[in-house]
Amino acid sequence: MNAPISLFYVVISLIIAYLGRTYRFGFWGYFFSSLLLTPIVGCFLLIASMPVKSSSKDR
């Protein structure tokens, strides 16, 4: 009975991590924060963070 809930929890955490892969904490940072702090908190962290600036050599 708890297996579908746990699977849903991990899948939501993976989705948040995938969306955060180009942000400050990266994939693993958002994945572990979503697992440890709940996916809702991970989503708030994702919304509050800024994307990583790409280093372009166009000057």
Confidence at residue 50, expressed as pLDDT on a 0 to 100 scale: 80
pLDDT at position 55, please?
A: 65
Kindly report the backbone phi and psi dihedral angles of residue 51, in degrees, each rounded to the nearest multiple of 5, phi listed first. -65, 150
The answer on pLDDT for 56 being more than 70 is no
Give the pTM: 0.78
pLDDT digits (tens, 9 = 90+) for 14-44: 999 999 998 888 999 999 999 999 999 999 9
A 10 A CB-CB count for 55 gives: 5
Query: For residue 11, what pLDDT is reported?
Result: 94
pLDDT of residue 52: 76
Identify whether the C-beta of residue 26 lies closer than 8 Å to the C-beta of residue 39.
no
Secondary structure (3-state) at 22: coil
